[in-house]
Chains A and B, each alone.
Chain A
Amino acid sequence: MDSCNCIEPQWPPDDLLMKYQYISDFFIALAYFSIPLELIYFVKKSAVFPYRWVLVQFGAFIVLCGATHLINLWTFTMHTRTVAMVMTTAKVFTAVVSCATALMLVHIIPDLLSVKTRELFLKNKAAELDREMGLIRTQEETGRHVRMLTHEIRSTLDRHTILKTTLVELGRTLALEECALWMPTRTGLELQLSYTLRQQNPVGYTVPIHLPVINQVFSSSHAVKISPNCPVARIRPAGKYMPGEVVAVRVPLLHLSNFQINDWPELSTKRYALMVLMLPSDSARQWHVHELELVEVVADQVAVALSHAAILEESMRARDLLMEQNVALDLARREAETAIRARNDFLAVMNHEMRTPMHAIIALSSLLQETELTPEQRLMVETILKSSNLLSTLINDVLDLSRLEDGSLQLDLGTFNLFAVFREVLNLIKPIASVKKLHVSLNLAPDLPEYAIGDEKHLMQTILNVVGNAVKFSKEGSISITAIVAKSELLRDSRTPEFFPVPSDNHFYLRVQVKDSGVGISPQDIPKLFTKFAQTQSMATRNSGGSGLGLAICKRFVNLMEGHIWIESDGLGKGCTAIFMVKLGIPERLNEPKLPFMPKVPTNHGPTAFPGLKVLVMDENGVSRMVTKGLLVHLGCDVTMVSSSEECLHVVSHEHKVVFMDVCVPGMDGYEVAIRINEKFTKRHERPIIVALTGNTDKVTKENCMRVGMDGVILKPVSLDKMRSVLTDLLEHRVLFEAI
């Protein structure tokens, strides 16, 4: 027998055990080979398996194990050494790989396990989030309900609607069985069931307000769970069932009077109503926190809505009141107007009616005076005449005053001669004054314009009245009348602080002062002087006649003329001074071609119309100078000629009455000369009259002339007649005008 390299198995191959081992090995090998295939297949399918490398290892391990078992199949029979070698190699490899795998699994299996725990954890979290989301949803729904409720509640301003809506909506939102509102009674001692949700007609249950449970609810601003058995909750017919939970909340009732201006109303003085909410009985429902919050919010909203309703009611009431008052006032006003109109009509008619007979009486009495009368008859007629004159004056005064007061008297503005007015007054007063041996003096300021714009008639009336009073109340002595143009320092008189006249270019303030040395007035009586019909005691005892209206009328006139009048006196027996200021207009200097009160120009056609009048002529142009000279010489003037401004200034003196200067020569400043002449002669009446001769009629030239203080403008060429009339006007009036 050869030594073969075979290895003999321990048992004979035909043994049954061997056979079973053989078959098992075969199947194991099959299984071992198929497992990696399956793994590979499934791993390829899934993309996320992170342990590929492990799989490879595992696969190798399994394959090798399978190989081992497969090779084992050959070892049951006689096999060569090669087979044994292969088997051994396979087993060695398998051992290596499986050990490696085992080692690696130690690392991997905990990881795999933890995956599972994480999965569990996430599942729990998800469940929790679900729960929470459910809660949030419910809350949000609650919020929505609140908003909707609020909207419903606040959309109306009617108290009942508000409350009813509240109950209905709350009932709906919270699925309540019953919802009730208890309002405090007028006495404040009881709560009365006012509104319920389900019961149609709540019978007037009342509950005393000082129950402990009620106090508990009122003292907390939160919704409070109360027992279903307490009196406020026992409004349903008692059921056999388990009553649902009950919650009560206070509703503040804000009254208008609770609102202070600057701070919030005190809580202690508040009144509350009670709102009771009942969950359905026999349900396992509990009051949830969010539902309680909803109830509190709603209660607050209701309070606000109710207060708004209350405020609205108040304001409606106030408005109605105002309307009534307006109507009443309107009526009163119309009545007053009717009364005034009636009075005016009456006055006008009466005035007319009274005047007609008055005229008749006065006229006929005067005529009677002319006839043959016995002394007693004459005396009687004179008395009649005097009395009727007085009466006539009184009627006039009364009508004037009533018209003044109504404001229906308009000033009749026109240009008039101021000096003439004063002279007229003087003439009128002189006879009486001389009879009383009073000396009357008139001083008119030199800068007083001779002409003014204003209401001549009323101004004269005022002056006459004031002067007349002075004469009336002086038994002896003198009366001085002064008239000046009020300067700004004088205008702000300390005694009349409320009078702030502002002089301007077109107006000036005439200040007239009438001083007498008569009986004077005591200081207490001075304020009464200007009131209608008021006469001081001393005046009345004097029996001086007059209705006491005169000064009142004067004051009205002076006010109409935007002025002020007042009387000063040092006391009884020391005379008094009446001062008034009125605003008068200054007549336009250059644009008044026709002055209404200009006396007729003497048409002096004689050659020497102005004998010896010294005149200065300034003209650069020799020819026109000569012509002007010729004109003036023809009119009899004594002409001096100069040809330049320096010469003019040098020569001009107060002897020259008129200066004619040519201003249209470019380069020669006639205006400058005019200004210098004005400066040279400070007193107005010493200054010669300056007349510009110009070829330009434009406005600029005229304005320039006016501005520098020239008195007139003549357009060249000048005719003889024109020159004559110019000179006449200038010398007569010293008034500014323009001659073309």
Chain B
Amino acid sequence: MDLIQLQRQLVDYRTSLYHEGFLDEQFTQLQSLQDENNPDFVVEVVSLFFEDSERLLNELSKALEQQIIDFKRMDAQVHQLKGSSSSIGAHRVQKLCIVFRNYCEVHNVEGCLKCLQQVKHEYGIIKTKLESMFQLEQQILNAGGSIPV
């Protein structure tokens, strides 16, 4: 594919992500931090986010399967997830975490389970989308172009 086209595709893709509320301006901030000294900043941060989130989601699933559910610990973990997602601008995930925390506070198991499912779902989506975006960027870089801001 043409470089220009790739670039335009990337821009459109990104815009759509913002538009649909998957990402918010925090992600833009992240991107602005990337420069010659720090060329892979965004990717690094996002990868770290993926690792962190997956670990947290696994732990949450395990916690909800227990007989006696440790809501406090769960709350802490959801808080972590919320922090991470807000740091990179994963808007929908962050919103769901807030709801999740509310359920934890009132010790509502049903609600928590439901929320967990939703978070996992959203996380899945954002992961796929970001990975696609990175692939596009890689393609552009490979084609010798620069990533448009």
Contact = CB atoms under 8 A, between A and B. Distances in A.
A257 B28 CA distance: 101
Given A621-B80, A665-B79, A720 B86 contact: no
Interface stretch (B4-12, B33-41, B120-128): B33-41
A633 B83 contact: no
Interface in A613-650: 620-624, 626-627, 630-631, 633-634
B87 A623 contact: yes
Given A630-B30, A720-B32, A622 B79 contact: no
Given A665-B79, A720-B32, A633 B87 contact: no
B23 to A, nearest CB: 12
A408 interface: no
A627 B52 contact: no
Contact of A719 (B29, B49, B86): B29
Interface string A665-682: 111000000000000000
Nearest to B51: A622
A623 B88 contact: yes
Contacts of A666: 75-76, 79
Nearest to B85: A623
Given A630-B41, A695-B83, A717 B76 contact: no
B52 A623 contact: yes
Given A666-B75, A719-B29, A623 B84 contact: yes
Interface string B29-63: 11011010110010011001100100000000000
Contact of A621 (B30, B37, B84, B89): B84
Contacts of B44: 626
Contacts of A622: 48, 52, 84
Given A695-B86, A717-B87, A717-B89, A627 B30 contact: yes
B26 A630 contact: no
B63 to A, nearest CB: 16
A interface residue count range (under 10 / 10 to 19 / 20 to 34 / 35 or more): 20 to 34
Interface in B103-142: none
A695 B29 CA distance: 17
B32 A607 contact: no
A701 B108 CA distance: 27
B35 A634 contact: yes
B108 to A, nearest CB: 19
B87 A627 contact: yes
A667 to B, nearest CB: 6
A623 B49 contact: yes
Contacts of A607: 35
A695 B41 CA distance: 23
A271 interface: no
Nearest to B87: A624
A716 interface: yes
Nearest to B75: A666
B82 to A, nearest CB: 8
B80 A620 contact: yes
Contact of B83 (A623, A634, A718): A623
Given A630-B38, A717-B29, A720-B29, 20 more contacts: A620-B80, A621-B84, A621-B87, A622-B84, A623-B48, A623-B52, A623-B88, A626-B48, A626-B87, A627-B88, A630-B30, A631-B29, A634-B38, A662-B83, A665-B80, A665-B83, A695-B82, A716-B87, A717-B26, A720-B32
Interface of A: 607, 620-624, 626-627, 630-631, 633-634, 662, 664-667, 695, 716-720
26 contacts: A607-B35, A621-B52, A621-B80, A621-B83, A621-B84, A621-B87, A622-B84, A623-B45, A623-B48, A623-B49, A623-B84, A623-B88, A624-B86, A626-B45, A627-B33, A631-B29, A633-B33, A634-B32, A634-B38, A662-B83, A664-B83, A665-B79, A665-B80, A716-B83, A717-B87, A720-B33
